[in-house]
Amino acid sequence: MNAKQLIAPAAALLAAAAVLLAACAALSGAAQRSGEAARNEIMSYMLPSRPASFTEEAYDGEDESIRRVFKAEDGYVLEVETAGYAAPMTLWVGVTNDGSVSGVTVRDHGETFGLGRGAQTDASFLLQFLHTSGEAAVGEDIDALTGATVTSKAVTRAVNSAAAFVTGADVSSGATEWEG
């Protein structure tokens, strides 16, 4: 095959690549806006007033488990990462301005199927955290998931961290410490 025969296919490949790059650049903004809208929709269910919008606030506090802070008029939704049994867990925790937990959702985890994975889907487990205020403890006011005590304590730590942020509790108070 000579060089003249390769020019047309190479030009077609370059043109296709340019079109794909342009489309990707044009759609990335739409994908980001769509992702933010979906995030706001989920977070709105985590506060009593179902706010339509949130403002992300910078967080540079002592609690290393708090990843992101979103503020609404009547409270906060915090993204908290904690060490689970099998892998890190990411939770969103809604906390009203008075420090009362109003919503908990497990966003990402790598917990054991059939045991710790229930932290994401077991409504009765998650409902135990509602109206707590940073002092929840497994074995006292929180019943652990059967066979998943470490996961249950991880979720409890995350929820306590979020509430401690809103109430201004000192992270050295033990509200966010590992409970064994």
Q: Distance between CA atoms of 42 and 148, rounded to whole angstroms? A: 26
Dump pLDDT digits (tens) for 70-129. 999 999 999 999 888 888 888 999 999 999 999 998 887 877 777 777 788 888 988 999
Nearest to 134 by CA among 83, 78, 86: 78
The pTM assigned to this predicted structure is 0.74
Is residue 48 pLDDT above 80, yes or no? Answer: yes
Q: What is the pLDDT of residue 177?
A: 45
pLDDT of residue 32: 67
In angstroms, the CA 136 to CA 155 distance is 10
CA 153 – CA 144 distance, rounded (Å) = 8
Per-residue confidence band for 1, with pLDDT thresholds at 50, 70 and 90: low
Least confident of 2-16, 72-86, 144-158: 2-16
Give percent of the chain above pLDDT 90. Answer: 28
Question: What confidence score (pLDDT) does residue 176 get?
Answer: 44
Per DSSP bridges, beta strands 66-72 and 75-83 are antiparallel
Nearest to 155 by CA among 116, 112, 124: 116
Q: How far is CA 161 from CA 68, 94, 134, 145, in A?
A: 12, 11, 7, 20
